[in-house]
Amino acid sequence: QSSGANRMRFNRDEPNQQNLEIVAHARMNVDGVWIAPHLLNDHLQSTGELSYKFSEKFHSGDVGKTLGALHDLGKGREDWQVYFRKKTGYDNHGRVENKVRTVEHSIYGAKYAIENFSLLGEILSYSIAGHHSGLPDWSSEETGRASLKYRLSKPVDIHSVKSGLINNLNLPKTLSAPRKFERYLDLSLWIRMLFSSLVDADFLDTESYMNPKKTQLRANNANLAELLDHFDKYIQGKEENSSDILVNRMRREVRRKCVDSADSPMGVFSLTVPTGGGKTLSSLAFALNHAVKHNLDRIIYVIPFTSIIEQNADVFRNAIGKDNVVEHHSNISEENENDRTKLASENWDAPVIVTTSVQFFESLFASRPSRCRKLHNIVNSVIILDEAQLLPVDYLEPILKTMKLLVKYYNVSIVLSTATQPALKEHEIAGDVFPGFESITEIMGDKVSEFYDKLDRVVVHLPEDLNSPKQWKELSEELIRYPQVLCIVSDRKSCRELYHLMPEGTVHLSALMCGAHRSRKIKEIKDKLDKHEPVRVISTQLIEAGVDIDFPVVYRSLAGLDSIAQAAGRCNREGLGEEPGQVFVFKSPRRTPAGILRKAEATLQDIISDIRPNLFDSSSFERFFSELYWKANSLDSEKIMELLSKNLNISFKTASNRFKIIDDSIQKTILVRYGDESEQLIEDLRYSEHNRTLMRKLQRYAVNIYNKEFEDLLGKGLIEEIKEGVYALSSGLNYSDEIGLILDEVLYEPEKYILQ
C-alpha cells in the first residue's frame, strides 16, 4: 500500500520490536483477515492536507495543516505501537488483551507544537491535546486534572517519537496567525474553527480507511447555482398556479424584493415581513441568490423549535429537491433521511442545512469533537435565523459577538427573519451600549410599514384592565361559541386546566406530548381547517412561532408583544375571510412562569399606553425589545464571555458545559409509549446495544420533564431504566392520546383504564 518513508519501521536493535510498521489504524476484511494497515505517516499527511483545505477558507491553511500533521504524533512511539497491537490483536496472532493499560498519545503533538512554535504553539496545543476528548480548559477547578495546564505539566519525552516520522512530515519552520485578534471571543472562536478543521479531517481520513463505502456516499453534492435554477422553476410554477389574491400578490412582491437585494455586499440583513407574508420561501430566495453572487458554499437555516422544523424543511425539499436538504435536530423522522444525508448531518457538508437554535448555538460554543466538527462548514455561508426574536436573552451577548465575528472574519452573511424584529442593532440602554450589530440592512427597505398595513388581516382586542384575570370557566364558555378557535396560554398546567373545561373533540397541544404525537395532531388540525370542519385547540406557545396554521379566531393570554404578534399570525393567515380575523388578549388566572416570559409580559404592560394605537408597528417592537433587554438580569448569565476571553487562559470545556439553551440540569428526558413503533423501539433498545440509530429514532418519542416530576414518576414505579441513564414509561397507561404524558394524579380518569 505504501513504500519508502511511508513504510518506516522501528530500528532493528530495539528489543522485541523488529520490523514493526508505524501504524495508525488497522482493520479486518469481512473474512476476518487483516488488510494492509493505515500507516501513521499516511494518516498524518492526509489529515494535514484535509485540515489545510478546511482552514484555508478562513486564511489559516498552514496552521490547519500543521495541526493535522501533529495530532497523532504520539502514536509514533514504541510503547503506543505495542499498546495498539495488544489492544487490537493486530500483528499479535489475533490475540486481544482487553486489560492493557491505555497509553497517552495526543499530548506529544501538543508538546512538540509548544517547543517549536512558541506562543502560536500554545494555541495549537488546545486542539492537538483535545482532538479525542474535546477542547480543554487551560486551568479550572471544574476540570482539574483534565485541564491542559495539568496535562502539559507532566514530563513528556518528545524524542521517544521516531525522528524519521517527524522529519518526513515537512513541518514549517515558522507559523503565523492570520491577523491580530480582537479583545473578546475572537481568539477562542479561531481556535474552535481550527479544532473543527482538524477533527473533521481526522474523522474523514480515518473513515476513508476504516469504511471506504461511507466516503463514497459523501461525494457529489449539488452546487448552489444548480439549486437556484431548480428553485426558480419551482417558484415559476407555484406563481402560475396561485390565485390572484392580496396575500399572494404581497408574497410575490416580498420574493422579488429578496431577489433584488441579494446582490448587496455581504453582511447582516433583516427580513421584516408580517406573519403569512411568505418569509420561508422568500428568505431562501435571498439566500440562494446571495450565495451564488458571492460564491458561497451553503445555506444554514436555523429554526427555534422542532415543532416547526419539519414543516419548513418540507417546503425547502419541494423547492430544491429532497437530497439537497439535510435536517439536523433531535426530532427528525426516518423518512426524511437517507444514508448520505445522515452522514452529511455529522459535519454539515451539504448545500442546505436545516437545524435548530439549540443545535446551532450550542455547537458554536461546544468543546466536544462531534459537536465542533461541523463549525468550519459555517464559513462561506448564509445563515438565516428564523424567528430571530427568540434568540435566548440569557446568552445574547456571546451569541451576538460571535455572530459579528463570523460576518467579519469568516465570510458569513446573516439574515434575521421575523415578523417581530428584535432590537439587535447596537444602541444605548440606560447608559450602557447594547452589544448588537453595527449595521443591519433591511431587505424590504422602506416598504416594511406599507406591507404591514396591506397585510393587516386581524383586529386585536386588548382588555381595558391588564391586571384583571379572566377565570378559566368564563374563558371556556367564550371559546365554545366559536366552531374554529385557537387559544394559546403560557404554560402547560394552564393548558391542561383549560382543556379539561372544553367539550369533547377539543385538541390539546403541549411539550408534554412527544414530537411524533404533536406532528400528528397539527396535521389533523390543518385537515379540519382545510375542510372547514369544527376544531377548537388549546395550546402552549409552541404553536405560535412559525407553525403554518390559519384560524379565524385566536385567543392569547397576556404575554410579551412578540408573543401576541406571533399568536395573531395564526389568525386569518391567508386573508381569505371576508371579515378580518379576531384576536382576543386576556389576563390568565395563573401567573406567567418566572423568568423571561414574566419579564416580557411586564414590559408590555409598562409600555402599552404608548404603543396601543400602533401595536404591531416596527417602532413598537424596537421599544419593546429595548426595554426587555434592559430588564434582563444579564445578557450573559453564565459568564461565557469571561470564560472565553482571557488571552490564552481559555476555559473551553467549562463554557461548553454552561452554554445550555435548554438547561438539562433541571430536567430529565424520558421515552414515552405512543403507538406501536415506540413500543417496539423501546423494547429493541432494552435488549440490544445502546446504539445511535435506535436513539435517533426514539427522539420522536421523547418528552422533557422537570427533575421533581421525574423523581415522582420514578418513586411511583411509573418509569423504568431500560438502559443505563435511559428511562421510559413502564406502560402506556401514563400516556394519553389527548394530552400526552400524565403527571398530576388529579388528571387521571380511572374509568378509562378499567379493563373490559
Q: Can you tell me whether residue 281 is helix, strand or coil?
A: helix
Question: Using CA atoms in the order 469, 473, 478, 479, what is the torsion angle rounded to 10 degrees?
Answer: 110
| Helices vs strands, H then E, count in the chain | 28, 23
The whole model's pTM is what? 0.86
The answer on pLDDT for 502 being more than 50 is: yes
Confidence (pLDDT) at 190 = 98
CA distance 113 to 127: 11
Extract the runs of DSSP E, i.e. beta strands, from 274-411. 298-303, 325-328, 352-356, 381-386
490: which residues sit within 8 A by CB, 6+ positions away? Answer: 540, 541, 557, 559, 563, 588, 592, 593, 597
Strand partners, 327: 354
Q: Report pLDDT for 755.
A: 30
67, 50 contact by CB (below 8 A): no
Cα of first residue to Cα of last residue in the chain, in angstroms, is 70
Euclidean distance between CA atoms 487 and 479, whole angstroms: 8
Q: Which of 320, 305, 315, 403 is nearest to 357 (CA)?
A: 305
Helix (H, G, I), strand (E, B) or coil at 97: coil
What the block records as the C-alpha cell of 322 is 429532497
Query: Looking at residue 545, what is its pLDDT?
Result: 64
- Strand blocks (E) in 402-544: 412-418, 427-429, 432-434, 441-442, 458-461, 484-488, 507-509, 535-539
Neighbours of 273 (CB within 10 A): 27
Strands 535-539 and 667-671: unpaired
What are the pLDDT digits (tens) for 580-635? 899 999 999 999 988 888 999 999 999 999 998 888 888 899 899 999 998 888 99
For residue 34, give the 3-state DSSP assignment.
strand
User: Taking every pair of C-alpha atoms in the chain, what is the biggest distance, in angstroms?
Assistant: 94
- What is the DSSP secondary structure assignment for residue 77, as one 8-state letter? B
Residues 92-118, mean pLDDT to the nearest whole number: 87
Taking only the tens place, the pLDDT of each residue in 508-523 is 999 899 989 998 999 9
Residue where the block lists cell 502560536: 120
Compare 379 and 686 and report the one with higher pLDDT: 379
Measured CA to CA, the distance from residue 685 to residue 662 in angstroms comes to: 25
According to the model, what pLDDT value does residue 337 have?
59
Is the alpha carbon torsion for 681, 682, 683, 685 positive or negative?
A: positive
Q: What is the pLDDT of residues 430-470, one digit of tens each?
A: 678 888 999 999 999 988 888 777 767 889 999 988 889 99
Measured CA distances, 235 to 282, 284, 458, 479, 663 (Å): 10, 11, 28, 39, 41
- 689-719 pLDDT per residue, tens: 767 778 878 988 999 998 999 999 999 999 9
Residues 86 and 92 sit within 8 Å (Cβ to Cβ) = yes
- DSSP string computed for 681-718: HHHHHHTS---HHHHHHHGGGEEEEEHHHHHHHHHTT-
On the CB side of 604, CA atoms within 13 Å amount to: 24
**Nearest to 608, CA basis, from 486, 471, 433, 460:** 460
